[in-house]
Amino acid sequence: MNPKELKNRLDARKSGSDDFYLLDVRNPNEQEISTIDGTDLLIPVAELPARIGELDPWKSSGKEVIVYCRSGARSANACGVLKSTGFAKVFNLEGGILLYSDEVDPSLAKY
């Protein structure tokens, strides 16, 4: 999923016409620097296998999970973990929060 698609989905979710979960897999110190408005949960990618239970309601509801990190690499790995545990609708934010900042919200701090 590219940044502009995510922005459109976030706008649609605010109006109630879309429903998905936005998962940040960065570390807490990174989230303190900047975060995408509408993020539902932070689980660092290294903790994801141990904390997968926190996401089970999402899997059982069949809702999409959109995953992001700083540049897209960690979130791509996280998508693999989620798919291997039965999540069917998982999408990686291409370019992560850095590309999102470039293309959608330049007010987000880069690091």
Whether 79 is catalytic: no
User: Which one of the listed residues 36, 45, 69, 99 is annotated catalytic?
Assistant: 69
- Alpha-carbon Rg for the chain, nearest whole angstrom, is 13
pLDDT of residue 42: 98
Residue of 45, 50, 34, 59 lying closest to 92 (CA atoms):
45
In tens, the pLDDT along 34-57 reads 999 999 999 999 999 999 988 877
Pairing of strands 20-24, 64-68: parallel
Tell me which of 15 and 62 has the higher pLDDT: 15
Domains of the chain: 3-104 (3.40.250.10)
pLDDT of residue 23: 97
pLDDT of residue 62: 78
Which residues, in sequence order, are bridge partners of residue 64? 20
User: How many whole angstroms separate alpha carbon 78 and alpha carbon 43?
Assistant: 10
